[in-house]
Amino acid sequence: MRDCLDASDCEVTTVAVRRERLVDKEGKSILSFLDLKKLTILPNTAGCFSAEDAIRHARIARELLSNLGNRGADWVKLECLGDPKTLLPDPIATLEATETLVKEGFRCSSTPATIDHGPASEKNAGATSVIARGQPDWLGQGVLNPNNIRIILEYLKDGDPDYPVIIDAGVGTASDVSIAMELGCDGVLLNTGIASAKDPLRMAYAMKFACDAGRMAYLAGRIPKKLYATASSPMEGRIGT
């Protein structure tokens, strides 16, 4: 895990407070294996099925990270699950939790309900960023509906081009990361695509390069897609017949 974090060159790593033991029988936790001076810890509320549960675990994480002096103490990747089979969030509970935690000074990265949900409500509630799903969780099928991601980006960046939109869920390989970044997303949050790869360390490098390449391609601006071919070489100055 530590080698993959270094290889990916990430600056933020997320930890599931609801699912991770804070301290094991040896007095260690996953935080014992992370470089807290280099990495910002982003606590997440995965496994919480109500606003109350998510709020409680966000507060627990803030207390823990405050004692450790990590700059992610007031951060939270927020979602309240609504369906245990698809693991899609409950939009109403997630919005309620966002409103409460923002009032308490948290910097919420809120997760909308589905890939078809235009999450302007989370931004309006004070979320400092939105984590949009490329697909339902852990299917490894990539960005299934890029048009909806474009709509989400349009909603959230209209008049606020620097507002962060992160893609989560479904990233299985490097090309999925490039697609997300080429759409104009600001980052990709992933775990399984690296952790479950046959060679996790090599995949971590691939994800890093794909992220950089996708972002550069977005900034460069791709050529338009056309129905008919256009000669790429100019006609001017050609040899006369």
φ, ψ dihedrals at 156, nearest 5°? -85, -30
Written as one string, the DSSP assignment of 33-83 is GS-TTTPEEEEE-TT--SHHHHHHHHHHHHHHHHHHT-TTTTEEEE--B--
3-state secondary structure 7-42: HHCCCEEEEECCCCCCCCCCCCCHHHHCCCCCCEEE
Task: Using alpha carbons, list the distances in angstroms from residue 204 to 109, 148, 170, 192.
Answer: 23, 27, 16, 11
Alpha-carbon span 171 to 143, nearest angstrom: 7
208 has catalytic annotation: no
Q: Hunting for tokens 């294996």 — which residue is that?
A: 33
From the list 77, 123, 225, 226, the catalytic residue is 77
Q: Hunting for tokens 């910002």 — which residue is that?
A: 40
Residue type, 166: I
Sheet bearing 129-133, strands edge to edge:
12-16, 40-44, 75-78, 107-110, 129-133, 165-168, 187-189
Q: Which residues are catalytic?
A: 77
